[in-house]
Amino acid sequence: MIIIDYNDKRPIYEQIAERFQNLIISGVMEKDEKLPSVRMLAVELSINPNTIQRAYAELERDGFIYTVKGRGNFVKRDEELFNKQKERLLKELERHIKNCLRQGIKKEELLDKLQVVMMDFETEAMA
């Protein structure tokens, strides 16, 4: 469920938090579903439990999960949060597209790349 990319320059806790965000937003993880315990996930990923705790703290701060003392961490399903996340991603995409256009990348090249990315994504989703 969680894969760490050691070539990624981002901290491991950010990668973990982002992966859980994606699982929650896409509906793979459902409302009130329990997340793996900090210890269990740390053992599974062979990393320090403090790293998992930091990722969970970030997820809770951002409103993706909630904590029940003595029971664990659970998915919080907040449509307003998901809409804000979607809006943020679309604004980020818009900024990247404008950068590409400023750098001289043609509209056709962008559309071709979008098609390739979409086909790759659909292929991965089926696997």
CATH of the domain at 49: 1.10.10.10
Each as own residue / partner, the long-range contacts of residues 5-14 (CB below 8 Å, 24 or more positions apart, any chain) are 12/47, 12/51, 12/55, 13/51, 13/52, 13/54, 13/55, 13/58, 14/55, 14/58
Two tokens, residue 86: 């979607």
Determine phi and psi for 71, rounding to 5 degrees: -115, -30
The pLDDT tens digits for 25-36 are 888 899 999 999
Question: Range of 119's domain?
Answer: 80-126
**What is the per-residue pLDDT for 127?**
63
106 with 72, same domain: the answer is no
Pairwise pLDDT comparison (92 vs 124), residue with the higher score: 92
Q: Indicate whether 110 belongs to any domain.
A: yes
67 and 84 both lie in a single domain: no
The identity of residue 53, as a single letter, is: Q
How many domains does the structure of the chain reveal? Answer: 2
**Looking at the predicted structure, is the pLDDT value of residue 124 above 80?**
no
Q: Are residues 21 and 58 in the same domain?
A: yes
Indicate the average pLDDT of the chain.
91
Whether 1 maps to a domain, the answer reads no
Question: pLDDT digits over 78-114, tens only?
Answer: 778 778 878 888 999 999 999 999 999 999 999 999 9
